[in-house]
Each structure stands twice: as structure tokens, then as C-alpha cells.
């Protein structure tokens, strides 16, 4: 197993995207700065999406500009389509995040396209993005469970993982538990098979909807995964996945790895302050457990 | 891996022992009945301990008498010493639970004896209990982390596990994370080594103090463990282990295994009712996550 892991903070995007009212740009920038101050070196800053579809992400260019001034900080912005890619070309995040679902019904609910349509578009954008010097994250949603189709056959997930992996050896592929319904045995099996077939290029994106978030992160790590998405304060959830709530909390994931002796570069005390700020965002529904533990406030 | 597991419910003992004010005997009996109704077939009913030391356990004989009338229900009572064993001889639980810590300082804080003194006494009680037809659970506390000594060397834990295992092949040995500080890699290593050396006779007793409870249960299961302690509502915690709070919640553990397709015999909806009752006990501090998830209320 690895002795270091990378945590990619997603509170500014996945955490906030469903939250209303609009959080002032300065508050978003302050949250990103607090996360960087806590030692996080990678974050999903926002989304180049229509402000009509997701009003909270309307100021992504301004938040990204501020985030890019933080030293040693890799900034990802989600790109849902070609229009989003054009915004990426203008505002230059370090990495673009593409996404599609491995189930037809969730892909249609989320982006109103078939999987084949999405994959064709994202394949073209991937090629252009690599040519233009972007890093690419290819997110596959609903890899374990779909809000409309239930438990996803492992062959379906691995088929799409393989197709994404074949696009280019230099893209990172996130295997996402969008609804929080994954179980650790399932996570372990998928990651072991994906890594055995396509190497060490996968990330795990998990939710803690049913309290399985940390167990699933531990299972992905045990299978060899070393990149994990999480949101400070456990905020977040997909607006187009009914019942899906909080991302697994960054502070819970950081605590897990601290206890396992795996380096994350994170200062727990500073992270708890950032997590408190994320949890206090008006309209956000906080999750996670570590913030409620008195003992860790004195470490 | 196994396709069934046994959950031993500990809310009536570990869950309630630190709680004040005194919970009426009838309420305790009703809680035990609700847990049985939910499908649990094994529980730690109480403790034959001095009512001065733990007033909440003073009515263990009455609760046990009621619990023994429930069909197909294995009742354990904790026996801290010879006086407790004499009570067991009188009231006849199906199984007695003995306990000592693998760290000297916690054993002294908890029972005011050295480990060698405890082990000598418990060895003698084990032999007599088996002769008298009791099943025996030998609980080893602080197998991963001690509130006074920090992380426990694995050799120390395995030494005491081996000594307990050598007492008799028919006793069950619980490897306990008393403070909730265990990490899943540590749990996996200890269980793999214990089971490789001494066979399939171990139980895992975990706490969710820092949110690692479910991950640790999953790690013990992956290593081959098939008996798990948990408390409905996530109540509980050792009164002589500073900072130690709730046992891992039975409903969270049941959900984990349900998602993994591992049979527990538990009805989630009925269990949630029992867990709500446990969490509502005056003075109890509830934990766990599943009770807060709206979606599971409609399953």
C-alpha cells in the first residue's frame, strides 16, 4: 500500500453546487484559502456550467483566479460540455473535470444525453484538452449504485472504466459513489479489477449518505487507490440524484489516514476550522463526524 | 469471507452502564424485547457488578430473567470477578463475559489490578464456568489504543490474545477497540494474525468515537471475523476510559452488512425503532448515522 495519499477537496464545487442562497464570491475565496492553509494541495474549485442550471457556480472564474494565486495548489474546474471547455480555455484551470454516468437513466437525468452521446463528446474534449496542456479528470458517476436502476452490475462499471482508460494513459479516472450506497466489498472489488487492468490512475469519489463513506474510502485505499475526493464539513450532494447527500467529510478522511500513518499533508486543527466554515455556509447541510468530537479540538 | 455474521447487541450493558439516571427495569426489558423483535439473537444483557460501582446495572437479574424468556436469544452477562461469577451461578445467563485490558494502566484504572492478577483470576473462572455449562466470552480491552498509553504495540495485543486463546478452544475472544482510536489497517492486521494463529473464534468490539466504527467493522469482517458487538442508537462508552464514547451503532453495522449482502437476520425498520428507543434513554448520548437518513425510514 502507498504511504501517501492525495485528497482533492470538493467543497467549493460538489459541496456548494446544490446550496442556496448564493454564497458571496469573497466567502468562497476565503473557504478555498482556508482549505489551502490546512494543507490541501488540490481542489475542485467550481464548474463552467450555465448559471441558469447551477446559479451557485456563476462566479467560478473569479474563485478560480484567486485559487490559482495560492502556491502549490492544483485547481480543477468541472466542464460539462463544449461550452464549458471554451470557458476552460479562457480561464485556464490546471485540470478540467469531465463527467458522465455509467447508467443510462442517471446520465439522462443529469445531462439529458445518452451515455454514448456523452462519451463521444467527452472523448473529443479529452483529446483537445490534453493538446491544450490541461490535466484531465474523467469522472464516472453511479459506478456502484444508481438512484434509478439500483445496484450497478460490476461489468457495466468496468466496461465504462475501460473505455475511459483507453482514451489516453495520462488521464485520471474517478470511480464515483454518487448516492452513498456503495459497500466496501464492492468498492474493493471494482478498484482491484480496475487497477489490475489499467494501472494506478484512479480516484475514489464517495458520499457518506448512509454512513459508509469512511469505510468505502478505507476499502478503496486497501485496494491501492491513492486519490480521494472529499468535502470539508461533509457538505454536498448531486442535485440530480434523489436522496444523495453529503460528500464524505475531508476531516473524517484526513483522520482515517492520520490514524493509519498515511501522509496527507493536512493539519487537522486548521482543517477543522475550514470545515466549520464550510458547515456554516447558509443553506448547507453539514455531515461527517469528526467536528463533533471534543477530544480532537485539543490535538 | 463468510456469508452470515452474528451481531451481539450491547446497548443494555455497554450502552447503558454509564448512563444516569437509573432507567426503570421495565424500560430495560422493553428495549431488550424490541431488539429481539428486530431479529437480534444475542445480547449483552447486563453486568453482575457492585451496584455501588455501576448503579445502572443493579437490576441485571430481573432484566436477564425477562430476556431468557425470549425465544432463541443468547444472553450474556458481564462478570468482573469471583463475586460476579457467583451471581452468574445463581441467575444463569447463557454466556458470561469476562474482561481485562491488554495495557497495564487501563486494567488498573478499570479494575484496580495488574494484568497478571486479572488473568490468573479470569483463567480460574473460565475453567469453572465451562465446567458449569456456561459459554464464555473473554473480552480483551484496549487492543489497539489505550487512553493512557496511546497506540498499543501489536505484539502486546497478540501476546494476550494468545494467552486467552490457550485457556480453552471453546471460548470466544473479543478483540476490543475500547476508545474508538483503532484504524482499519490495524484492525485487519490483528484479526488476520489472530485468526491465522488461533482459528475462527474471535469477535470485534468497536466504538465510533472518531467516526471510524463502521470502517473498522468492515476491516475485521474482511479479515474473517464474523461476530460483532454494537449498540442500538450508538449509545455507550467505558466509564474508565477518558474520552471513549459511543459503541458503533447496531443499525449502521446492520446496514453495512445488508449492503454487502451478508445475512444478519435483522429487520432494519424494526431495528430503527429499537435504536430510536435506545437513543431516547434519558442521559444517553446517541451516535451512529443511519437514524438520521430519511430514505431508510421508508425501506
- Within 8 A of B186 by CB-CB distance, chain A residues are 259-260
Residue A277 located in a structural domain: yes
Report the candidate in A27, A36, A99, A98 with the shortest Cα–Cα distance to residue A68: A36
Residue B140's CATH number: 3.20.20.70
Does B206 fall in a domain?
yes
User: Which residues are within 8 A (CB) of B71 and not within 5 positions of it... i.e. 6 or more apart?
Assistant: none
Instruction: Write out the H or E segment, with its range, that includes residue B10.
Output: none
Contact A170, A217 (CB under 8 A): no
d(CA A245, CA A287): 9
Q: Is the pLDDT of residue B30 over 90?
A: yes
Give the percent of chain B with pLDDT over 70: 97
Residues B135-170: tens digit of each pLDDT: 999 999 999 999 999 999 999 999 999 999 999 999
DSSP-assigned beta bridge partners for residue A145: A151
Q: Which residue of A has its CA nearest to B288?
A: A211
- B158 near B194, Cβ under 8 Å? yes
CA count, 13 A, side-chain hemisphere, B42: 18
Q: Is the pLDDT reported for residue B89 higher than 80?
A: yes
List, in sequence order, every beta strand (DSSP E) within B125-206. 135-141, 145-146, 150-151, 172-176, 202-205
Best probe of the A interface among B179, B186, B215, B272, by most A CBs < 10 A, is B215
- pLDDT for A295 equals 82
> Does the distance separating the beta carbons of A185 and B210 come in below 8 Å?
no
B210·A255 Cβ contact <8 A: yes
**Minimal Cα–Cα distance from A200 to chain B, Å?**
20
Report CB contact under 8 Å: A211, B184. no
Q: Is A293 on the interface with B (CB under 8 A)?
A: yes
A292: closest chain B residue by CA: B210
Whether B256 and A183 lie within 8 Å, measured CB to CB:
yes
What pLDDT, on a 0 to 100 scale, did the predictor assign at position B245?
77
Task: Examine the pLDDT at B44 and tell me if it is beyond 90.
Answer: yes
Give the mean model confidence (pLDDT) for residues B9-15: 95
**Residues of A with Cβ-Cβ distance to B185 under 8 angstroms:** 1, 218, 222, 260
Return mean pLDDT, chain A: 95
CB atoms within 10 A of CB B148: 14
Q: Determine the average pLDDT of the residues in A170-195.
A: 97
Contact across the interface for B211 and A290, Cβ inside 8 Å: yes
CA-to-CA dists, residue B104 to A59, B146, B186, B240, angstroms = 58, 10, 20, 13
Give the per-residue pLDDT at A293: 87
| In-domain check, residue A1 | no
Does B217 reach chain A within 8 Å, measured CB to CB? yes
Residue A123 falls within a domain, yes or no? yes
Q: What is the pLDDT of residues B254-267, one digit of tens each?
A: 999 999 999 999 99
Q: Which residues, in sequence order, are bridge partners of residue B136?
A: B96
B243 with A212: Cβ contact below 8 A: no
Residue B181: its chain A contacts at CB < 8 A?
A: 259
Chain A stretch 146-165, residues whose beta carbon is closer than 8 A to a beta carbon of chain B: none
B19 touches chain A (CB under 8 A): no
Residue A272 lies in a domain: yes
Strands (E), chain B: 6-9, 42-47, 74-78, 95-101, 135-141, 145-146, 150-151, 172-176, 202-205, 227-230
Q: In chain A, what residues touch B259 (CB-CB under 8 Å)?
A: 181-183, 186, 210, 212
Nearest to B252 among A182, A211, A288 (CB): A211
Per this entry, what is the length of chain A?
Answer: 299
Report residue A2's pLDDT band, with 50, 70 and 90 as the boundaries.
confident
Q: What is the mean pLDDT of residues A255-259?
A: 98
Tell me if A259 is assigned to some domain: yes
With cut-offs at 50, 70 and 90, classify the pLDDT of residue B269.
Answer: very high
pLDDT at A196: 98
Do A188 and A219 meet the contact criterion of CB atoms below 8 Å apart?
yes
**Would you call B260 an interface residue with chain A, using a CB distance cutoff of 8 Å?**
yes
- Tell me the DSSP string of A160-224: HHHHHHHH-TT-EEEEE-SSS---HHHHHHHHHHHHHHH-S-EEEE-B-TTS-HHHHHHHHHHTT
User: Closest partner residue to B214 among A215, A260, A288, by Cβ?
Assistant: A215
Q: Which of B250, B257, B164, B151 is nearest to B207 (CA)?
A: B250
Please answer yes or no on whether B184 and A289 come within 8 Å at the CB atom. no
- State how far the Cα of B91 lies from the Cα of A101, in Å rounded to an integer: 59
Number of independent structural domains in chain A:
1
Number of Cβ within 10 Å of residue A6's Cβ equals 16
Task: Using the predicted structure, report yes or no on whether residue B76 has a pLDDT greater than 90.
Answer: yes
Chain B contact present for A268, CB below 8 A: no
Q: Name which of A30, A27, A35, A62 is nearest A46 in CA terms.
A: A62
The pLDDT mean for chain B works out to: 95
Residue B12 C-alpha, separation from nearest chain A C-alpha, in angstroms: 23
Instruction: Give burial (CB, 10 Å; 0-12/13-18/19+) of B62.
Output: middle
Tell me the pLDDT band of A294, cut-offs 50, 70 and 90.
Answer: confident
CB-based contact (8 Å) between B179 and chain A? no
The β-bridge relationship of strands B6-9 and A202-205 is unpaired
For residue A75, the cross-strand partners are A43
Residue in B209, B286, B284, B221 with CA at minimum distance from that of residue B251: B286
Could you tell me which residue, A12 or B298, shows the higher pLDDT?
A12
Peptide linkage before B77 cis (omega within 30 of 0): no
Tens digits of residue pLDDT in A229-256: 999 999 987 666 666 679 999 999 999 9
Is B192 within 8 Å of chain A by CB? no
Over residues A13-24, the pLDDT tens digits come to: 999 998 989 999
Contact A210 B183 (CB under 8 A): no
Asked if the structure places residue B1 within a domain, the reply is no
Tell if the CB–CB gap between A218 and B184 is shorter than 8 Å.
yes
Residue A264 located in a structural domain: yes
What domain range is A85 assigned to? 6-298
* Residue B20 banded pLDDT, cuts 50, 70, 90: confident
Preferred mutation among B179, B180, B211 to probe A, highest tally of A CBs within 10 A: B211
Does B186 contact A at CB distance below 8 Å? yes
C-alpha distance from residue A240 to each of A72, A90, A111, B64 (Å): 33, 28, 9, 50
CA distance B6 to B226: 6
Please confirm, yes or no, whether A176 is among the known catalytic residues.
Answer: no
Q: What is the pLDDT of residue B39?
A: 98
Cα–Cα distance, B205 to B216 (Å, whole number): 10
| Average pLDDT, integer, range A178-192 | 97
Q: Each residue of B202-248: pLDDT tens digit?
A: 999 999 999 999 999 999 999 999 999 999 999 987 666 666 679 99
* Cβ separation B293–A260 shorter than 8 A: no
Chain B residues lying within 8 Å of A296, measured CB to CB: 210
Residue contact B184–A210, C-beta within 8 A: no
Per-residue pLDDT of B184-208, as tens digits, reads 999 999 999 999 999 999 999 999 9
pLDDT of residue B242: 63
Amino acid at each position: 500500500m502507498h504511504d501517501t495519499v492525495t485528497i482533492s477537496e470538493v467543497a467549493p464545487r460538489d459541496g456548494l453546487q446544490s446550496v442556496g442562497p448564493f454564497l458571496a464570491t469573497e466567502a468562497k475565496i476565503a473557504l478555498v484559502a482556508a482549505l489551502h492553509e490546512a494543507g490541501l494541495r488540490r481542489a475542485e474549485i467550481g464548474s463552467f456550467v450555465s448559471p441558469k442550471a447551477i446559479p451557485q457556480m456563476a462566479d467560478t472564474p473569479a474563485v478560480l483566479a484567486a485559487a490559482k494565486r495560492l502556491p502549490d495548489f492544483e485547481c480543477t474546474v468541472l466542464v460539462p460540455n463544449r461550452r464549458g471547455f471554451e470557458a476552460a480555455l479562457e480561464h485556464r484551470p490546471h485540470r478540467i473535470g469531465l463527467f458522465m454516468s455509467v447508467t443510462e437513466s442517471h446520465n439522462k437525468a443529469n445531462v439529458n444525453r445518452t451515455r454514448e452521446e456523452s462519451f463521444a463528446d467527452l472523448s473529443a474534449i479529452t483529446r483537445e484538452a490534453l493538446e491544450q496542456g490541461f490535466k484531465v479528470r474523467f469522472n464516472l458517476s453511479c459506478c456502484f449504485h444508481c438512484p434509478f436502476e439500483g445496484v450497478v452490475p460490476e461489468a457495466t462499471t468496468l466496461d465504462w472504466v475501460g473505455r475511459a482508460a483507453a482514451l489516453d494513459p495520462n488521464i485520471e479516472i474517478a470511480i464515483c459513489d454518487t448516492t452513498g450506497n456503495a459497500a466496501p466489498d464492492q468498492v474493493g472489488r471494482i478498484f482491484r479489477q480496475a487497477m489490475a487492468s489499467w494501472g494506478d490512475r484512479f480516484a475514489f469519489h464517495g458520499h457518506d449518505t448512509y454512513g459508509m463513506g469512511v469505510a468505502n474510502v478505507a476499502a478503496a485505499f486497501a485496494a491501492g487507490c491513492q486519490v480521494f475526493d472529499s468535502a470539508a464539513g461533509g457538505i454536498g450532494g448531486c442535485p440530480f440524484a434523489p436522496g444523495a447527500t453529503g460528500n464524505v467529510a475531508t476531516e473524517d478522511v484526513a483522520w482515517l489516514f492520520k490514524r493509519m500513518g498515511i501522509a496527507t499533508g493536512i493539519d487537522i486543527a486548521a482543517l477543522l476550522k475550514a470545515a466549520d466554515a464550510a458547515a456554516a455556509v447558509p443553506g448547507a447541510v453539514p455531515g461527517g463526524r469528526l467536528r463533533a468530537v471534543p477530544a480532537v479540538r485539543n490535538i
